[in-house]
Structure 1
Amino acid sequence: MKPFLRQTILDVEESRIREVANAGMGRSDVLAFWFGESDEVTPEVVRQAAIDSINQGETFYAHNLGMSELREAVSTYMSALHGPVGVERLAITSGGVNALMLAVQALVDAGDEVVAVTPVWPNLTAQALVMGANLKCVSLKPVQGQWVLDMAALLTAITPSTRLLIVNSPNNPTGWTLSREEQAMLVTHCRQTGTWILADEVYERLYYEGDTANGAAPSFLDVSAADDRLVVVHSFSKSFLMTGWRLGWLVMPAAMTQPIGKLIEFNTSCASVFTQRAGIAALQHTSEITPQVVAHLKQCRDTLVPLLQAVPGVELAPARGGMYAFFKLQGHPDSVATAKRLVVEAGLGLAPGEAFAPEAQGWLRWCFASKDLSRLTQGVDRLKAWL
């Protein structure tokens, strides 16, 4: 008898975030902070662009690589942040996660070695496993609540046998962010080993350090050449409040673009036209939308973190980027069990650290992207009362 399904698929773990969220779905008394999205709706100007597109009858297929107008807009946007990024290096995708999967499909064969920096959003490591890769993880280390990278350990792990390095910076869930110097070291090292870099930079505009001229976190695009073995993934989800629209893009060497177009055809054919119209509107109004989003998220972070730090038994440091407070709760080593108890007993929905890596057992992720700051305060009050 042939196997019912590929064993690799059967072996991939289900999302522990969803496992916890499912325990509280439909309960109006739960303050939910488990998913990585704001509770603010997409700006009206973006929504209206999609409505207008539908009303004009734009309900047909688009080019596999995306509408030329959107690719041009993305090129202008990325070039303003990182220097020239030509349209020939861009593909529009049906969300950031689709962009990541396309890159992994294009680069990874069964049996290839893939190195990933963890803790990290579980989809990033699961995608490599789905393709049958041999996954090797290099863990960040917590130091007084701040997760830091042992660069020497990472460089040692990346050898000529390593097909792909996966790195997410700013990082979900920890907020850890690579410095430009660290990125340059990785680019140089991966050139020597022939290793591709897959950089998930969807949180690059959600950056709070203020030490860059363009308001973005350091990017691999700042320290690489156009033909380097580098694929950078972006999404409209976070900095444009467009999580449900499923719209993202890839930046890659020009020689890779046409093959990616083929993969898009075999995966989704194309992103919908009205969604792409919304993306164009978002980029046209980025100077109005994104700074407001970032300023509010910084206010959210600076509201939540001190309150959590004042709770006995909580260990965390402010995130440099992203939209999460990642904290250790002493005396509660099983993060999944703790998160489920918090849902049922405290009406508080958090994501378990175990979902992001085994080394994050005992940690919890709190998405602080809340329109109403009082929800964050109420959440901390519930945590304290439960403790």
Structure 2
Amino acid sequence: MRSIIQSLEESKIREVANAGLGREGVLPFWFGESDEVTPEFIRQAAMQSLQEGETFYSHNLGLPALREAVAQYASKLHQPIAAERIGITAGGVNALMLACQTLLDAGDEVVAVTPVWPNLTAQPLIMGAQVKCISLAPDAHGAWQLDLRKLLSAVTAKTKLLILNAPNNPTGWTLTRSEQETILAHCRKTGTWILADEVYERLYYSGDTANGCAPSFLDIATPEDRVIAVGSMSKSFLMTGWRVGWLIMPTGMSAQVGKLIEFNTSCSPVFIQKAAALALQRTNEVTPRIVAHLHQCRDKLVKLLQETPGVKVAAAPGGMYAFFQIDGHTDALQTAKRLVLEAGLGLAPGNAFAPQGEGWLRWCFASKDLSRLDEGAQRLRTWLLHKK
């Protein structure tokens, strides 16, 4: 077995969840998904496809209808994007791994902005790359910010790939348009590829963009730029378990990625692709409602946490998480486990996302019933009162 595989850390999020799964009465906010099921018309589309016997392979890069649907969807949000630049994948995580497999050789240098979903730093390591992490830093109010000069200094001609997740999991930090323009110009000079994980782009609450989503590299990059953007149906269509996402690649790259998809999953299931295509065509029936509800969830939970003595938290501009700190609780994993066992409250430990997240906790606020957030906050307050 390869030594790098043996050295990969197990998920601390899963470690906490395993301590709580099966325990009666635990409120689970540890995973990054809503507790609301996929809309019925999307489920019906998949069932109809199955009933019609569509159980065979598709093109490696996905059904033409779905690639076109993604192209039209992305083009409405950003610049015009051709379907030929799109590859359909078995979820966003598969898209990110395919990008790493396409670009990285053993020994290549990768720069990643952290804290971040641990898959994004593990995937380059699996490929044998060397990962250099540049950390965001929290301000006095708990809002995480990027030191742009520090990042630009880290990205040199030796840097093969820069990985950015914005809006960010877990902090909710989001790149500004100015920052993106500066980063893109710098990477053009150094010849560095940009892998932009933009699966949370629609979960954006600042309202300072005309297209209703977070600033994207797709707004400013040319089709020839070394930019790969990853999207997914998971978050803004309530389709986490369906495992369908996409890559938007530079012109001429899709054929090579298609070969890799053949050696990974061959293709995404047809019935899932059919459901995804319909969801994208009817996005206005799904996503705006989800985003508006998540905005309510964010505002409610952040207010509840800010009213809790000893808690530091800021309302993030994007994503689906509150990332917060509790005075006197510096061991995030131990605190998360205690909250599960002693308060029936399931949160993710911040050090699952980077060492800089130590002492922080992530709360996924994507709750269909807002009263669950009230109950969770009350459990936290009670626990702090008696256990601090």
TM-score (norm 2): 0.98
Structure 1, unmatched stretches of 5+, are none
Structure-2 separation of matches of 1:22 and 1:131: 28
Alignment-mate amino acid for residue 72 of structure 1: E
In the other structure, the counterpart of 1:22 is 18
Tell me, yes or no, if structure 1 residue 62 matches structure 2 residue 40: no
Q: Are 1:111 and 2:101 an aligned pair?
A: no
- The answer on 1:212 being equivalent to 2:209 is yes
Give the count of matched residue pairs: 383
Quote the residue 1:200 is aligned against.
197
Output the CA distance in 2 between the equivalents of 1:257 and 1:245: 23
Listed one character per residue, the Cα deviations across residues 173-215 of structure 1 (whole Å, up to 9, x for unaligned) are: 0000000110010100000000000000000000000111111
Cα distance in 2 for residues equivalent to 1:28 and 1:378: 15
Task: For 1:260-271, list aligned pairs within 5 A.
Answer: 260-271=257-268
Q: Which amino acid aligns with 2:367?
A: S
Counterpart of 2:347 in structure 1 is 350
Alpha-carbon offset, residue 288 of structure 1:
1.1
User: Tell me, which stretches of 5 or more residues in structure 2 are unaligned?
Assistant: none
* Match in the other structure for 1:331: 328
Letter in 1 for 2:63: M
RMSD (Å), alpha carbons: 0.5
- 1:124 aligned partner, one-letter code: L
The residue that corresponds to 1:241 in the other structure is: 238
Query: Distance between the aligned counterparts of 2:79 and 2:360, measured in 1?
Result: 38
Corresponding residue for residue 369 of structure 2: 372
| Poorly superposed stretches of 4+, deviation over 6 Å | none
Residue identity matched to 2:41: V
Report deviation, 1:345.
0.4
Q: Distance in 1 between matches of 2:254 and 2:290?
A: 31
Measured against aligned partners, the alpha-carbon deviations of 1:231-271 in whole angstroms (never above 9, x if no partner) come to 00000000000000000000011221101000000000000
Equivalent of residue 4 in structure 2, options 8, 11, 20: 8
Distance 2:54 2:252 in 1: 31
Residue equivalent to 1:229: 226
- The amino acid of 1:343's aligned partner reads V
> Under a length normalisation based on structure 1, what TM-score does the superposition of the two structures give?
0.98
Q: Percent same amino acid at aligned positions?
A: 68
For 1:75, the equivalent position in structure 2 comes to 71
Aligned: 1:277 with 2:274: yes
Within 5 Å, which residues of 2 pair with 1:122-133? Answer: 122-133=118-129
CA distance in 2, matches of 1:248, 1:190: 25
After superposition, give the CA deviation of every residue in 1:303-338 in whole Å (9 maximum; x if it has no partner).
100000111111110010000000011101000000
In 2, Cα distance between the equivalents of 1:130 and 1:22? Answer: 25
Instruction: Give the letter aligned to residue 305 of structure 2.
Output: L
Aligned counterparts of 1:207 and 1:136: Cα–Cα separation in 2: 28
Q: Tell me which of 133, 136, 140 is aligned to 2:136.
A: 140
Query: SS of the counterpart of 1:65?
Result: coil
Q: Deviations over 1:258-302 (max 9, x none)?
A: 010000000000000000011011111101100000000001011
Q: Following the alignment from structure 1 to structure 2, what is the Cα–Cα distance between the partners of residues 6 and 26?
A: 34
Letter in 2 for 1:240: F
